[in-house]
Amino acid sequence: MITERPLHVLVVDNDPGIQHLLVLIFQREGWRVTTARDGDAAIGLLRSELPDLLVMDLILPGKSGFDVLDWIESNDASWLRHVIVLTAASNSLILGLTKAHPIFSLVRKPFDLEDLVRNVKSCAAASGVGARQAVRASSRRTSDFDGALFAVAQ
């Protein structure tokens, strides 16, 4: 019997509420989730165990999301296609990001939970990692977490 390995997503965000919500949603999809709250921790995790995908904010304490992207690019630029940036950064910062780094996609905060999950599934499929696990039909809906979003925000 062959067992599929769950998709492994690294979530990097210094907002504990957003981080907690993403962990709940991604675990509900059956994915393995690792978290970091700053760029230094993210680079440490990327060095020790490369996840399938990275969902990361740009504005972080210590090393920024830009620093993490620079580190990824200097080690394996092709891995940038495994990155989804989730941010409320200004348009000028975002313009600089998209010109400098060929990431998979950029999602603006505030974000729609269902759109983010679809984006992660698309990124997994396009990157060819954990694709069957990520795009597997699920009876779960992220709208189940509408109450969780409110509870986490308080």
Domain boundary assignment for the chain: 8-153
Q: Which of 80, 62, 86, 72 is nearest to 11 (CA)?
A: 86
Whether pLDDT at 134 is above 70: no
pLDDT tier, 150 (very low <50, low <70, confident <90, very high otherwise)? very low
DSSP 8-state class, residue 89: -
- Calculate mean pLDDT across residues 136-142: 39
* Percent share of the chain, pLDDT over 70: 81
Options 3.30.830.10, 3.40.50.300, 3.40.50.2300, 3.30.750.24; CATH of 8-153: 3.40.50.2300
Report the alpha-carbon distance of residue 32 to residue 30 in Å, rounded.
7
Distances (CA, A) of 12 to 4, 18, 60, 83: 25, 10, 8, 11
Per the CB < 8 A criterion, the answer to whether 71 and 46 are in contact is yes
pLDDT digits (tens, 9 = 90+) for 35-79: 999 999 999 999 998 999 999 999 999 999 999 999 999 999 899
> What per-residue confidence (pLDDT) applies to 127?
85
pLDDT tier, 28 (very low <50, low <70, confident <90, very high otherwise)? very high
Query: pTM for the full model?
Result: 0.82
